[in-house]
Amino acid sequence: MKLRAMAFVPALILLAACSSEPDRVTAVSVAEQCDPESTYFDLSEDEKSIEFHFRPGTESSEVAYTCLLEKSGAPSSVDYRIMETRPIDGTQTAEWEGWELYWRYEGKGDGTPMHLSEV
């Protein structure tokens, strides 16, 4: 009987290891990875959302923008929609697994304010 019990122990350990969920990406982790010096992102008081004023054509802003979308797991369609937004379109939204993004394009010199929130 002792031999049978020992056979179950490795199986239980394996199951426990397989069932653990990966760490959830949070607004804090996105901000820390994409803007460690807090140059572009403003993290909310509750640390669940990020305000970002994207300025296309500015290399460091574009790097932060690309990182924000990649680290939050945004589908490529979100990037496409942001790049195709016109001032007349008003505020736009996108949702994907665990995230919600609001943005609007204010014209060439003004850039694109964005609000990324954990859902």
DSSP 65-82: HHHHHHHHT--HHHHHHH
Virtual torsion, Cα 38, 39, 42, 48, nearest 10 deg: -50
* Model pLDDT, residue 4: 56
Residue 96 pairs in a beta bridge with 99
pLDDT value of position 23: 77
**77: helix, coil or strand?**
helix
DSSP letter (8 states) at residue 115: E
CA-CA-CA-CA torsion for 53, 116, 27, 66, nearest 10 degrees? -60
Helix (H) or strand (E) holding 114: strand 112-118
- CA quadruple 61, 66, 70, 74: dihedral sign: positive
**Helix pair angle (59-72, 27-34), 10° resolution:** 150
Q: How confident is the model at residue 109 (pLDDT cuts 50, 70, 90)?
A: confident
Mean pLDDT of the 83-100 span? 96
Mean pLDDT of the chain: 86
pLDDT exceeds cutoff 80 at 11: no
- For the stretch 44-83, pLDDT in tens is 999 999 999 998 888 999 999 999 999 999 999 999 999 9
Determine the pLDDT at residue 18. Answer: 45
Asked if the model's pLDDT at residue 114 lies above 60, the reply is: yes
